[in-house]
Structure 1
Amino acid sequence: MKQPSITRFKPRLCTALALSFLLALTPPIVAADNAPPLMLANSYHPGIPLTEYWVSEKYDGVRGYWDGKRLLTRGGQPVIAPPWFTAGWPAIAMDGELWAGRGRFNHAVSTVRRETADDSAWRSMRFMVFDLPAHGGNFNQRLQALKTLIPSLKTPWVQAVEQIKISDHATLQRMLDRIVRQGGEGLMLHRGASLYQALRNDDLLKLKTHEDAEARVIAHLPGKGKYQGMMGALLVETPDGLRFKLGTGFSDDQRRHPPALGSLVTYRFRGLNPGGIPRFASFMREYQQ
C-alpha cells in the first residue's frame, strides 16, 4: 500500500479511519546503543541552598560529548566535524554544548546534522565545555581542572563555560532576566560538591522563563484558512500517554514540512490545566538526540 503524503492534506484525514491509519504508520523511537552516560538536569525550584551551586548561562545549542576520540551527540550519533575542529583535543572526556551563538540554534542543528562537514558553517561553531565526566573529583575540583585544561588547548573555538556564585534568589532572577533579554535561553546551576553521575537529580538544575518538555508526534492534522494544504497542528503524546494538539510556534516552512511521524518534538508551556494538558503549549523545535 502506498503511504499517504505527509506534506499535503485533504479533509478526509480528519476522520477516525485516517487517524487510525496514521497511528499504525508511526515508527517506534529507538535509542542509540552507544549513547554517552550524561548527567541530566532537573528544573530549578525555590528553597535550594544557592550558596552550594555554581551558576552559568544555559547555551541553546546541541549537547556534545567528546569521549577522548570521537565527538558524539547526546543520543550517541557521531558528529561529522572538520578534522581541524577537533585537532589536538585531549584523550579525556569533555561534556559541553556545540553552540553557534545566541539566537542561532537552527544554524547549530543544521551544522551538526550534516553527513559531510560544511567547513564554512563550522567556522562559526564553538564547543562550550562545562564538565569533565571522567575526572573523578567533585564539580568544584572538575571546574578547576577545566580552567587549566581548556587554555592549554590553544583552540579559540573550545571554551570553558563561565561559572559564578550567586547567594540569593533575587540576584539569580535578575541574572536570568538579563540573559533572556540578550537572547539567551536561561541558566544552569551545578552543585559544587556533586560527582559526575549519569542521573537526573538536583545536582544539576535548569532555570528558564518557561517550562518545556518532549512529546512524540502521533499525527499531522490538516490546516484551515491560510494554512489550507499545510499542517495545521500536530497530535502529540507525552511519555505518560497524554495526547494533545500542538498548533502554534511553527513557521510556514515547518507547516509545509512538519516533523516526521514518530519523531520527538520539544514544546514550551506554562503549567498544566486541571486535566493535565499543558497550558499555552507552543512548538519549539524537533528534539535533538
Structure 2
Amino acid sequence: MPSVWAQALGSVPPTAVSAVQLAMPWPPGRSPQGFWVSEKFDGVRAVWDGQVLRFRSGRVIAAPGWFLLALPRVALDGELWLGRGAFDRLSGVVRQVEPDDKAWRAVQYLVFDAPGHAVPFAERVAFVQATLAQAQQPWLVSVAQREVKDARALQALLLDTVRQGGEGLMLHRADALWQPGRTDALFKLKLDLDEEGLVVGHQPGKGRLTGMTGALLVQMPSGQRFALGTGLSDALRRAPPPVGAWVTYRYRERTPSGLPRFASFVRVREAE
C-alpha cells in the first residue's frame, strides 16, 4: 500500500476525526448492490486519531500503555469487543479510570474504517487491512466486509448472523467518502430496530410493582415522549436510571404518529 496513504492519515488533526459516522436504518427490501456488508458488533465505539483513543463522545479511553503503543500512528474507527453477548462485561473493563491490564488482554479492537481520509470506503478498507496486517497484533482486527447480491441474500445473511448470536449487519456504500454524522452512506440492519432516548421522568408502578418504577418516561430524538416499561428488571425498577440518563430501547416498527411499537428497554448508555 503506498506510504502516502499513511502520511495522509497520520497528518489528520485529532479534531478532524473526533466525530464519527452514524448509521441510518436499512430500508426494507432495498438492494444491497454497491454496498459492503459486515457484522454489527455489540461493542464500545472507539476512535483512534493516531495518538489518543476516545469514546464517540470524545472522552479519552484509559487503555493500557501496551495497547496504545501497538496501534498504528494513523486514524482508525472501530469497536472494542469481548465477544457476542459480552457488552456489559466489556463496558466494565473499558470505562475504568485505571485500566485493568489483565482484563484488557481479552479485548479486541475491531477496525472498520480510516476516518478523515478522502478516498472511497472500498479503498479505506484496503488501507485498514494492509495497515493492521503490518501491525501483527492478534487483538487488532480488520472487520470482514463482503458483497451481497440481492435483498433476499441479505435477509438470509441477517438471519444466519442472528442465529449465531450476532446483533445484525452494517452496510456501507463502497464508493462513499468519509463524512461525520448521520449519513446515507452507512446503514444498520437488525431484526428489531433500536434507538436512544432521554429519561425525562418516572411513572409509579401498580399492583406487584407498587413502590417501584412502573415505566420510564422517555423522550425520543424527535421530541416525542412515551412510557418505557417492558424489559426493566426489578432491580432497575427499584433504582431506575435518573432523569437525564440516556437509554437504548428496541422496537418492531413505528405507529402512524411516529412512536415506537412494542418498545423494550435494552440498557442504560454509560456516561462517556
Q: Give the TM-score, by structure 1 length.
A: 0.83
Amino acid at match of 1:121: A
Larger radius of gyration: 1
2:225 is matched with which residue: 221, 243, 247? 243
2:179 is matched with which residue: 180, 183, 197? 197
Q: Which runs of 5+ in 2 are unaligned?
A: 1-14
Secondary structure of 1:110 counterpart: helix
Matched, 1:144 2:139: no
Change (3 A) 1:277 1:47: closer
Q: Answer yes or no: is the 8 Å Cα contact 2:170–2:187 preserved in 1.
A: yes
Determine which structure has greater relative contact order: mean sequence separation of CA pairs < 8 Å that are 6+ residues apart, divided by chain length.
1
Cα offset, 1:49, TM superposition: 4.5
Residue in 2 that maps onto 1:285: 267
Residue in 2 that maps onto 1:161: 143
Residue in 2 that maps onto 1:212: 194
- Bigger drift between 43-52 and 160-169 goes to 43-52
Cα offset, 1:123, TM superposition: 2.2
Change (3 A) 1:178 1:47: closer
**Displacement over 6 Å in runs of 4+:** none
Residue in 1 that maps onto 2:5: none
Matched, 1:103 2:112: no
CA offsets 1:101-139 (integer angstroms, 9 cap, x no match): 101111122222211112232222111000011332111
Q: CA RMSD in A?
A: 1.9
Residue in 2 that maps onto 1:5: none
Q: Distance in 1 between matches of 2:170 and 2:269?
A: 19
Q: Distance in 2 between matches of 1:277 and 1:88?
A: 45
Q: Distance in 2 between matches of 1:257 and 1:145?
A: 47
Amino acid at match of 1:242: Q
Cα offset, 1:47, TM superposition: 5.6
Change (3 A) 1:221 1:118: farther
Matched residues, number: 257
Q: Answer yes or no: is the 8 Å Cα contact 1:34–1:75 preserved in 2.
A: no
CA offsets 1:135-174 (integer angstroms, 9 cap, x no match): 3211111111111111111111110000011111111111
Q: Which runs of 5+ in 1 are unaligned?
A: 1-32
